[in-house]
Amino acid sequence: MQAIRLSHFTMSSALGAGLMPTLTRLQTQDGGIVRKRWETLDFDTCIGEVAGLDDFAIRADLARFDCRNNRLAQLALEQDGFAQTVREAIARYGRHRVGVFLGTSTSGILTSEIAYRHLDPVTGLLPPGHDYRHTHNSYSVADFVRHYFNLAGPAFVISTACSSGAKALGSAQRLIQAGLIDAAVVGGVDTLCLTTLYGFNSLQLVSDQPCRPFDAHRNGISIGEAASFILLEGVAAPQAGDILLTGVGESSDAHHMSSPHPDGLGARLAMEGALAQAGLQPQDIDYINLHGTATPSNDSAEAKGVEAVFGSQTPCSSTKGHTGHTLGAAGGVEAIISALALQHQFMPGGINTQELDPTLHCNYLLTNRSQAMHHVLSNSFGFGGSNCSLILSQVQP
Amino acid sequence: MNGLTVFIDGIGLLGPGLPNWDEARPILRGEAPLVLAAPTLPAPMALPSAERRRVGLPVKLSMAVGFEAAKHAGIDPAHLPNVFSSTGGDCDNCHMILEALASNDRQISPTRFHNSVHNAPSGYWSIATGCREASTSLCAFDATFAAALLETASQACAYGKPCLLVGYDTAYPDPLYSIRPIPYTFGIGMVLSPRRSKHSLAQIRLNLSTASPDSCESPQMESLRTSLPCARSLPLLNRLAAKKHGTVTLDYLEELSMQVELSA
């Protein structure tokens, strides 16, 4: 069976556009969450915003796709030479042999949020030119990327809330290994919108300060936005240094719509599934990038799941304190941070956390640690009890 | 190219004039007329009563077709990894959020918010069935059915066990209805297995193609096919109902279709 290689990747988040600022700010433990009043929000909140989207110009031939989510997608695609690498892959394999599988939770719903403020007072109709299909519909971002590269291969959007971006890698893995495609652009894109900001507030899940994963006094998430793109390719003979997707584990909690199973049962099944697919034992995992949203219930459930599978010694951390919780993009963002950790041989320490919760029995890192690693695991869990764990492995010389 | 080979072990169907798979078969074969009328959705009795009161059309529709397909396949739904698919998710719920956000009182209830995620029906399904298997929720606008078929078949082959496809389409109210009309609710369930069983209705082999998609012979059925993403499945259902083998091409994306080779 072909190995699945992360041939190239890029991300843009509150840490900046592209890998360079991302890596620098992880290495200096410098977060991107700020307090502000966003759009027409009627309260201040701490968010991880991407700079420059309000004035960003989407490619003229793709103007019908113009919305905050697709602007961020284009901004991210154009960093780190990513788009060029994808074009080279298309030239190698053909337009029909490259898929697009992306995660998002809210797509470009912000355009409909704004359009509903401007309904025709007589007819009640939406403002002329409001393009639901190319902005608000969940598929919009995969449609946009498929057109951006003039692709003719399979595509869809995965929308399983905060596990979306991770699960997109699993879909691509299966289709590459089944021989239907040779490569895929995967990851996730999610942007700030009022639905999310008011919604998480109604659930009282938003912190009044930059989120503090695994802190004894953690009190909620900070909402962020990000785009993460990975070019996955099937390779027969991986080379030393290659980063491979070796394990994908997916599960459902079957417990509650908006709170995790209290013992982290679903999380545990996902982690065990990823280990089984990778053919690894728990002690083979060098570092865990946690879902770590900083809600009391998520971190508690996740810690129990991690402890059940790995014991309490495996180094782990959440990078949500850096980026905020980027929802449908988070799985892709954190896969990329895990890949950076492998490439640059460092485990990113979590930030904002002042006092580790003594009831969470994990080896949670508060400072960066330099260390060579072979295998890292990344967790993503979402509303509806949707769980996904990924294992990335670096091919050794 | 070999493609993905799976067996269809169970079907659930609920659409206008198509109340379930058994009653729909003569209509799909063209032996009985298709009478277009809004389908009646059963209450989702599998949910605890507190949850049952909170759910909208998509949960009722997806549960009806999911349970029907699993029953025909003779499999406890708790053991079926599943792929939920819909062009719009819960459109009523989305409309109500958009209205609230455009009003002077922007408060959204917690239930309204957690029902807004595209995977809400899959979450309720896992709670109702106790299923802890993998569950995906996906969307590809009008191409959603072929995308779900591809994902479900690839999961069945990768996991080596039967998987459940659930497709459901419901309408937005106005004003979104006027730019995204979904004339009827329509749901489809399908159990795809990597192995032949005593419940297998047909073997299908899926391949990506550039051939033009097939249409339905009946004009009424063709109008459903072109106006409802889940009804893009109808050319396949027509053949399954008639036990007709051969190749059928389903609509997928621009420059791409889904070739389905049916055999016994």
- CB contacts of A383 in chain B (<8 Å) are 114, 117, 119-120, 123
In B140-245, at which residue ranges do the beta strands (DSSP E only) sit? Answer: 163-169, 186-193, 202-209
- Pairwise CB contact (< 8 Å): B255 & A152: yes
**Residue A361 annotated as catalytic:** no
Residue with tokens 């639905």: A195
Q: How many domains does chain A have?
A: 1
- CB contacts of A382 in chain B (<8 Å) are 117, 119
Copy the structure tokens of residue B94.
Answer: 């989305």
Tell me: pLDDT of B245 over 80. yes
The predicted structure's pLDDT at residue B53: 82
Measured between CA atoms, the residue of chain A closest to residue B81 is A251
CATH number (domain holding residue A142): 3.40.47.10
Tell me: pLDDT of A179 over 90. yes
Model pLDDT for residues A48-96, shown as the tens digit of each residue: 999 999 999 999 999 999 999 999 999 999 999 999 999 999 999 999 9
Q: Mean per-residue pLDDT for B130-138? A: 97
A251 interfaces chain B, CB cutoff of 8 Å: yes
Does residue A45 or residue B51 have the better pLDDT? A45
Tell me: pLDDT of A313 over 60. yes
Q: In sequence order, what are the residues at sequence separation of 6 or more whose Cβ sits closer than 8 angstroms to the Cβ of residue A354? A: A212, A215, A217
| Contact (Cβ atoms closer than 8 angstroms) between residue B142 and residue B87 | yes
For residue A23, give the 3-state DSSP assignment: helix
For the domain covering B8-195, report its CATH number: 3.40.47.10
Q: Which of A113, A124, A199 sits opposite B113 (nearest CB)?
A: A199
Which candidate in A261, A291, A322, A375 is catalytic? A291
Residue with tokens 């159990």: B191
Tell me: pLDDT of B1 over 60. no
| Residues β-bridged to residue A12 | A17, A227
The predicted structure's pLDDT at residue B30: 96
- Pairwise CB contact (< 8 Å): A382 & B157: no
> Around B18, how many Cα atoms within 13 Å sit in the side-chain half-sphere?
30
The predicted structure's pLDDT at residue A263: 93
The predicted structure's pLDDT at residue B50: 83
pTM for this model (two decimals): 0.98
Model pLDDT for residues B61-104, shown as the tens digit of each residue: 999 999 999 999 999 999 999 999 999 999 999 999 999 999 99
Q: How far apart are CA A61 and CA A134, in angstroms?
A: 13
Burial readout A299-327 (b: 16 or more C-beta within 10 A, e: otherwise): bbbbbbbbbbbbeeebbbbbbbbbbbbbb
The predicted structure's pLDDT at residue B129: 97
**Domain residue limits at A118:** 3-394
- CB contacts of A42 in chain B (<8 Å) are 106
Model pLDDT for residues B139-172, shown as the tens digit of each residue: 999 999 999 999 999 999 999 999 999 999 999 9
The predicted structure's pLDDT at residue B49: 87
Q: How far apart are CA A386 and CA B131, in angstroms?
A: 11
A180 interfaces chain B, CB cutoff of 8 Å: yes
Model pLDDT for residues B19-71, shown as the tens digit of each residue: 999 999 999 999 999 999 989 999 999 998 888 888 899 999 999 999 999 99
Q: Which of A119, A156, A158 sits opposite B175 (nearest CB)?
A: A119
- Pairwise CB contact (< 8 Å): A156 & B154: no
- Pairwise CB contact (< 8 Å): B136 & A160: yes
Distances in Å between the Cα of A89 and the Cα atoms of A150, A156, A171, B61 are 13, 19, 19, 41
The predicted structure's pLDDT at residue B52: 86
**Residue A162 annotated as catalytic:** yes
- Pairwise CB contact (< 8 Å): B140 & A155: yes
- Pairwise CB contact (< 8 Å): B116 & A199: yes
- Pairwise CB contact (< 8 Å): A137 & B139: yes
Q: How far apart are CA A278 and CA A249, in angstroms?
A: 9
Residue among A12, A17, A133 at smallest CA distance from B144: A133
| Contact (Cβ atoms closer than 8 angstroms) between residue A26 and residue A367 | no
- CB contacts of A117 in chain B (<8 Å) are 102
Residue type (1 letter), B79? H
Model pLDDT for residues A254-305, shown as the tens digit of each residue: 999 889 999 999 999 999 999 999 999 999 999 999 999 999 999 999 999 9
Distances in Å between the Cα of B44 and the Cα atoms of A261, A331, A376, B51, B184 are 23, 32, 41, 9, 19
| Nearest CA distance, B183 vs chain A (angstrom) | 17
Q: Mean per-residue pLDDT for B108-113? A: 94
- CB contacts of B154 in chain A (<8 Å) are 171, 174-175, 178, 180
Bond prior to B183 in cis (omega within 30° of 0)? no
Average pLDDT over all residues of chain A:
97
| Nearest CA distance, B44 vs chain A (angstrom) | 16
Q: How far apart are CA A355 and CA A360, in angstroms?
A: 12
The predicted structure's pLDDT at residue B51: 82
Average pLDDT over all residues of chain B:
96
Copy the structure tokens of residue A268.
Answer: 């545990």
B211 interfaces chain A, CB cutoff of 8 Å: no
Tell me: pLDDT of A10 over 70. yes
**Residue A291 annotated as catalytic:** yes
